[in-house]
Amino acid sequence: MKISKRAGKIAPSLTMAITAKAKKMKEEGIPVIGFGAGEPDFDTPENIKKAAIHAINSGFTKYTESGGMLELKKEICKKFQKDNNLFYEPSQVVVSCGAKHSIYNVLQAICNEGDEVIIPSPYWLSYPEMVKLASANPVIVETEAKNGFKITPEQLANYINRKTKAIILNSPSNPTGCVYSLEELKALVKILEEADVFLISDEIYEKIIYDVAHVSIASLSQKMYEKTIVINGHSKVYSMTGWRIGYMAGPKEVAEAVDSMQSHSTSNPTSISQHAAIEALRGDQSVVDNMVKEFKKRRDYMVSRIKAMKGLECDIPDGAFYVFPKITGLQRGTSMEVSEKLLKEANIAVVPGVIFGADEYIRLSYATSLKNIEEGMNRLERWING
């Protein structure tokens, strides 16, 4: 008996593997500093937790609509209008089990065998695998550090062809932290408006942003609104990674297809998490501002330390909670080799850039305490100088 060819093509998540290895080392008493986490280290806000407890105590523990509660969809529509100047009806929104699930569902709903999906590199590692699971082909477009790791209009125009079904745009970006400016998005819109393709705009880090403004590309023209599928969720901004609430908004026919597919797979997202998600959108947002201020302090400290280290190059990220230093100056091997050496020799867990399509880099998350960051940077500096 053999597994399917489809499953055989998929690579397991290396970030999960690294996190598991670091956790095992900690359990063995080894003092590992983890810079691999893709989740905020802050606790879920108290008002959100209380809403979930209230839901449990009230017996709100049954099935909901497969695509999410109407009450939650209405709050998401309000959020889009207030934050992004986007006007959706609840029928255009589907709530899923995390933003990853939303992207997976969308790709399953829009892709046919042989279709192509353009993915700028460096990319979040799950994008190409999810495209493959949809029987489509990921087309990787390598971006350059001099352009802030952003796809240019010229690159986009050169790669779009009759097989192209969609482009995935991630701003703020994981792993680079880059944020597309209004001017950069307008330049891409000129190309995209003329192309018969979907744009999947992954905006999960939308509010974790520093000194620049987030712009949702779907708000820039009616044509873009009609072809853009916006992905967002509660995991990062409300520190609700384990609650598994993400959502998509876009063309009604896409939403209907996603809802139908979801009804035959997971059914609804957890009822308790949906109840908490409503409170997250309605409640006090100052916790988000406070979290972002703390992230900025950590970012500034980590970047300043890395910039002072021999053999590393590092730009200041405008969003998310990662830094993405170039390691070629170290002359200590590939990103995988450097990551393995750092874990074994310095007890630091980082993520090799090769899994993001950028083998000259490593990713470090500053979603950990400033104390841990200080100790981790000290270890990194000793390792480099040792």
Summarised one tens digit per residue, pLDDT across range 252-291 is 999 999 999 999 999 999 999 999 999 999 999 999 999 9
Categorize the per-residue pLDDT at 3 as very low, low, confident or very high, splitting at 50, 70 and 90: confident
Name the token pair of 159. 């790669």
What local confidence, expressed as pLDDT, does residue 22 receive?
Answer: 82
Q: How many CA atoms lie within 13 A of 32 on its CB side?
A: 26
Give residue 200's pLDDT.
Answer: 99
pLDDT value of residue 13: 73
Q: What is the pLDDT of residues 28-77, one digit of tens each?
A: 999 999 999 889 999 999 999 999 999 999 999 999 999 999 999 999 99
Which parts of 21-134 are beta strand (E)? Answer: 33-34, 93-96, 116-121
Q: Which residues of 170-195 are buried (b: 16+ CB within 10 A; e: fewer)?
A: bbbbbbbbbbbbeebbebbbebbeee
pLDDT > 80? residue 11: no
- Between the CA of residue 304 and those of 134, 300, 308, 312, 377, what are the distances in Å? 42, 6, 6, 11, 10
pLDDT at 273 (0 to 100): 98
Mean pLDDT, the chain, rounded, equals: 96
pLDDT at 12: 73
State the average pLDDT over residues 287-298. 97
What pTM was computed for the model?
A: 0.96
Question: Where do the domains of the chain lie, and which CATH numbers do they carry?
Answer: 5-44+286-385 (3.90.1150.10), 46-282 (3.40.640.10)
Closest CA to 179 of 203, 199, 146, 143: 203
Q: What average pLDDT score do residues 126-154 get?
A: 97
Q: How far apart are CA 356 and CA 332, in angstroms?
A: 19
Beta strand 93-96 with 246-249: parallel, antiparallel or unpaired?
Answer: antiparallel
Each residue's pLDDT tens digit, 152-172 = 999 999 999 999 999 999 999
